[in-house]
Chain A
Amino acid sequence: MLKVENLKVNFGGIEAVKGISFEVKEGEIVTLIGSNGAGKSTTLRAISGLVKPSEGRIIFEGSDITKIGSSEIVGKGITLCPEGRRIFPDMTVLENIKIGAYLRNDDLTNDIEKCHRLFPILKERENQLAGTLSGGEQQMLAVARSLMSRPKIMMLDEPSLGLAPLVVKDIFNILKEINEEGVTILLIEQNANMALRLADKAYVLETGTIAMQGSGKELLDNPKIKEAYLGKKN
């Protein structure tokens, strides 16, 4: 469904992504894990058209989207739920949800209901300014907002960042639910443990290159991963 071939991205004078290739198949949950500066966010930003790759190709459903602008990429069904949530703090919760469907002109009632079903707290806070929500609620809002464009593939950049473990668990459960409803998920995380448990397929990024890949379970059991990312000694 989504294929990244030999992607290279320069970022602030350095080559942040040094030729990576990976594939996301329809219906899967794929995760990219790695430490700070490994190039994870830059990869997602390149896919969603926020930064232009210096080399390589990004193919979505058979067509090359490498040079397309971010607005059109959203239109094709790829959405990015950005790092740090980036909700619009001075709009209401409902407006934030609606703006996720900016490119759609059809009736949103069902989709809004769906968001409320997944995240009941957002219905309660509907008319509150989004900036007044707690971190976890903001993350839920960010996920709901991304869903409103009816994405085929949803990319999430560190949804667990700065959240309490219980909230992270909730959010991951909902990601699973979203995936079961047919949305492909590409997730990047530093919380390798949670991400690998959820993922069908995982790639490990180290300083701009893919160091390892396998199914989520394989990597969870891999002694090297255990030591480097899960904090367990053999």
Chain B
Amino acid sequence: MNINQLLQHALTGISVGGCYALIAIGYTLVYGILRLINFAHGDIFMVAGYFMIFSFAVMPFPVAIVVTLVGTTVLGILIEKFAYSPLRQAPRMSVMISAIGVSYLLQNLATYLFTALPKAYPAIPGLKQVIKIGDISTSLVTILTPIITILLVVLLLWLVNRTKIGMAMRAVSRDYEAASLMGIKLNQVISFTFAIGSLLAAVGSILYFTDRMTVFPFSGSLPGLKCFVAAVFGGIGSIPGALVGGFFIGICETVIKAIGLSTFSDAFTFIVLIVMLLIRPTGLFGEKNIDKV
């Protein structure tokens, strides 16, 4: 493999990693607030793909993008309202089972409504444009993905650490009761968290599917699981952790494919999960156990 090929693969890996990071953040945020692994997150990502396909068919692309982002955000909030919020007092296991239920519901609903055949993802003008840097040729979306990802993460970190709603999110993630004694409305903060997570998944979905070019009802399940691994790898609950985890999984996967072991690339991701859980269950940047108050 020469240096150009290497760079080419590195670029692809970083790009896939960026998409993974955006989805992984959704897992991490929701886990931070509700201590829930939102197994429906990957399917929200898939539905965002369909939103784009259908809105693109009838409106100009900038509007379609906005519709996709808003639609996915609303979907995330609604899922929380109907499937998780009634279980606020229930054991965590029940909420997780509900999440798995929502995941199957979305997959089967999509199969029923749109059939299981892959649908072509629209080409957003400009995004697939080929760019040549030296001997490497790549599309604009590949370069754009990591940039957008990092920008969004910086924005998100600012939101969480510097704004009032971010302060409320941190308070709620630490102590529900103390937070409500400050006058913080739990449901508001939780909805907001789901909104951000789903919005980022929608952005990720636009970038990811533009590259893959098709969407089918199960296209969210494997990326969803991989991003869950990315979040656990980075330390679930930590935003920088999700970013690093996303890039790590994306790059490793691409490298493994590049050296001709495509069949094993998914297996590798889950080996990462198992190894991480065995050696360092809290992940790279995970919170240490400070349950003692």
User: Distance in Å from the Cβ of B292 to the closest Cβ of chain A?
Assistant: 9
Given known A-B contacts A88-B170, A95-B167, A70 and B293 have beta carbons under 8 A apart: no
Q: Pick the most buried of A49, A91, A102: most chain B CB atoms within 10 A of its CB.
A: A102
In the complex, chain A residues whose CB is within 8 Å of the CB of B184: 71, 99, 102
User: In the complex the two chains form, is A70's CB within 8 Å of B180's CB?
Assistant: yes
User: In the complex the two chains form, is B177's CB within 8 Å of A89's CB?
Assistant: no
Q: How far is the CA of A88 from the CA of B173 in the complex (A)?
A: 10
In the complex, chain A residues whose CB is within 8 Å of the CB of B167: 91, 95, 98-99, 102
In the complex, chain B residues whose CB is within 8 Å of the CB of A91: 167, 170-171
User: In the complex the two chains form, is A86's CB within 8 Å of B171's CB?
Assistant: no
User: In the complex the two chains form, is B182's CB within 8 Å of A86's CB?
Assistant: no
Q: How far is the CA of A90 from the CA of B178 in the complex (A)?
A: 14
Q: Is A103 an interface residue (CB 8 A)?
A: yes
In the complex, chain B residues whose CB is within 8 Å of the CB of A49: 180
User: Distance in Å from the Cβ of B260 to the closest Cβ of chain A?
Assistant: 45
Closest to A48 in B: B181
Interface set, chain B 123-181, CB cutoff 8 A to A: 164, 167-168, 170-171, 174-175, 177-178, 180-181
User: In the complex the two chains form, is B174's CB within 8 Å of A88's CB?
Assistant: yes
User: Distance in Å from the Cβ of A31 to the closest Cβ of chain B?
Assistant: 20
Residues of B within 8 A of A (CB-CB), count:
17
Q: How far is the CA of A229 from the CA of B180 in the complex (A)?
A: 33
Q: Is A190 an interface residue (CB 8 A)?
A: no
Q: How far is the CA of A99 from the CA of B182 in the complex (A)?
A: 7
In the complex, chain B residues whose CB is within 8 Å of the CB of A102: 164, 167-168, 182-184
In the complex, chain A residues whose CB is within 8 Å of the CB of B293: 84-86, 89
User: In the complex the two chains form, is A80's CB within 8 Å of B290's CB?
Assistant: no
The 8 A CB mask of B273-289 against A (1 = contact, 0 = none) is 00000000000000000
In the complex, chain B residues whose CB is within 8 Å of the CB of A75: 183
Closest to A87 in B: B178
Q: How far is the CA of A21 from the CA of B178 in the complex (A)?
A: 26
Q: How far is the CA of A87 from the CA of B290 in the complex (A)?
A: 13
Q: How far is the CA of A71 from the CA of B171 in the complex (A)?
A: 14
In the complex, chain B residues whose CB is within 8 Å of the CB of A103: 182-183
In the complex, chain A residues whose CB is within 8 Å of the CB of B88: none
In the complex, chain B residues whose CB is within 8 Å of the CB of A89: 174, 290, 293
Number of residue pairs A-B, CB distance < 8 angstroms:
65
Interface size, A (range): 20 to 34
Q: Which of B168, B182, B185, B290 contacts A100 (CB 8 A)?
A: B182
In the complex, chain B residues whose CB is within 8 Å of the CB of A88: 170-171, 174-175, 178
In the complex, chain B residues whose CB is within 8 Å of the CB of A131: 290
User: In the complex the two chains form, is B185's CB within 8 Å of A71's CB?
Assistant: yes
Interface set, chain A 80-112, CB cutoff 8 A to B: 80, 82, 84-91, 95, 98-100, 102-103
User: Distance in Å from the Cβ of B228 to the closest Cβ of chain A?
Assistant: 24
Q: Is A43 an interface residue (CB 8 A)?
A: no
In the complex, chain A residues whose CB is within 8 Å of the CB of B168: 99, 102
In the complex, chain A residues whose CB is within 8 Å of the CB of B178: 82, 86-88
Closest to B188 in A: A71
Closest to A70 in B: B180
Pick the 8 closest A-B CB pairs, nearest first. A74-B183, A103-B183, A86-B178, A70-B180, A102-B182, A71-B185, A102-B183, A71-B183
In the complex, chain A residues whose CB is within 8 Å of the CB of B174: 88-90
In the complex, chain A residues whose CB is within 8 Å of the CB of B175: 86, 88
User: In the complex the two chains form, is B181's CB within 8 Å of A99's CB?
Assistant: no
User: Distance in Å from the Cβ of A105 to the closest Cβ of chain B?
Assistant: 9
Q: List 15 A-B contacts (CB under 8 A).
A: A48-B181, A49-B180, A69-B180, A71-B183, A79-B181, A82-B181, A84-B293, A86-B177, A86-B293, A88-B171, A99-B168, A99-B182, A102-B183, A102-B184, A145-B182
User: Distance in Å from the Cβ of A10 to the closest Cβ of chain B?
Assistant: 14
